[in-house]
Amino acid sequence: MRPDAARSLPLADELSVVFARMSGLLLSEETVATALGLVGSLVQETVPGAVGAGASIVDDAGRRSSGSTDPRVERADELQYELDEGPCLAATAGRTLVRVDDLSADPRWPRWAAVARELGLLSVMSAPLVAGDRTLGALKVYGAAAGAFTPHDAQVLTLSAAQAALLVTHVTAREKARRASDELRQAMAARDVVSTAKGVLMGRHGIGEETALAMLLSRSGGDAGTLRQAARAVVDSAVRRLR
C-alpha cells in the first residue's frame, strides 16, 4: 500500500487492510521477533512521516528492541535502555501514547534527545503494547523532520499497538505450547527408554524391576540425563545381541 493511498482511507478501513495482511502472514510465522518485524514494517508503511519503526519489549528478561526497520531505530532504542530515559520507556511505564514533535525543543529526556538528534531523528511517537493488565513494551515510529506526525498518525499507532499486543500474546502462547509439547515428548521418550532398559536387565539377569532400576541408577550416578544415557546403552546393547 502506498502512503498516499493509506492516508486516503478512513481510519477503520486503513487498519483493517493493515491487520488483514499482518494476520495472514502470521499464519505461517512462529516467533515474536518475526511478528514484531512485520508490525514494524507495516506501521512504517502506513505512517507517511516515519523513517523507521519497531518495538521495545520490556519484561522479566530485561529491555530489548525487536522488529526494528532501520539501524537508527535500534540504536535510538539501545540508548534509551542505556540512559534509562526516553519516549518508549515513558510510554511503557505510563501505558499511554507519547508524542514528541521536536526533539530539539522537548525537555523531558535531554541526554537521550541529544544523541537521537545526532542520529538524524527529530520526532517520535511511542504507544504502549498493552494486553489485559500486562504492558509488554511499546511500538514506536521515528521521523527525520520536526512535526512529522499528525493526530491521525497518533490514532493509527495507538490502534496498531493494541492489535500488535494481541498478536504478540497469541504468538507467545503458541511458542509456549510448542515448547511444552516438545518437553512432554522428550520426557515420554526418556521414560520409554528407561522402561525398556529395565525390561532388558530384568530378563537378562532374572531380577525385579526395583533392582533393575537400581542397576541403571548406579551406572548413571543418579543424574537424570546420565540415567537416560545408561538406559540407551543397555537398549542398544540388547539390539546388537539380536543381530
Between 184 and 73, whose confidence is greater?
A: 73
Between 81 and 34, whose confidence is greater?
A: 81
Contact 129, 67 (CB under 8 A): no
Kindly report, residue by residue over 172-187, the tens digit of the pLDDT: 666 666 665 565 566 5
What pLDDT score does 7 carry?
47
What pLDDT score does 32 carry?
73
Q: How does the average pLDDT of the chain come out, rounded?
A: 82
User: Which DSSP state fits 34?
Assistant: H
Nearest one of 205, 73, 212 to 144, comparing CA atoms: 73
In CATH terms, the fold of domain 3-176 is: Beta-Lactamase (3.30.450)
Question: Residue ranges of the domains in the chain?
Answer: 3-176, 183-242
What pLDDT score does 22 carry?
59
Q: Determine the Cα–Cα distance for residues 199 and 209; give it in Å rounded to an integer.
A: 8
What pLDDT score does 1 carry?
45
In CATH terms, the fold of domain 183-242 is: Arc Repressor Mutant, subunit A (1.10.10)
Q: Determine the Cα–Cα distance for residues 14 and 95; give it in Å rounded to an integer.
A: 24
Between 233 and 123, whose confidence is greater?
A: 123
pLDDT band at 28 (very low <50, low <70, confident <90, very high): very low
Judge if pTM exceeds 0.85.
no
Kindly report, residue by residue over 202-217, the tens digit of the pLDDT: 888 888 888 888 888 8
Does pLDDT of 132 surpass 80?
yes
Kindly report, residue by residue over 133-174, the tens digit of the pLDDT: 889 899 999 999 999 999 999 999 998 898 888 877 776 666
Kindly report, residue by residue over 83-126, the tens digit of the pLDDT: 999 999 999 999 999 999 999 999 999 999 999 999 999 999 99
Task: Kindly give the pairing relationship between strand 52-59 and strand 62-66.
Answer: antiparallel
Q: Residue 57 contacts by C-beta under 8 Å, 6 or more apart in sequence?
A: 32, 36, 63, 64, 65, 66, 136, 137
Question: Please, where are the H alpha helices in the chain?
Answer: 3-8, 11-26, 32-46, 71-83, 87-94, 110-118, 151-205, 209-220, 224-242
Contact 5, 14 (CB under 8 A): no
Q: What is the CA radius of gyration of the chain?
A: 27
What pLDDT score does 235 carry?
81
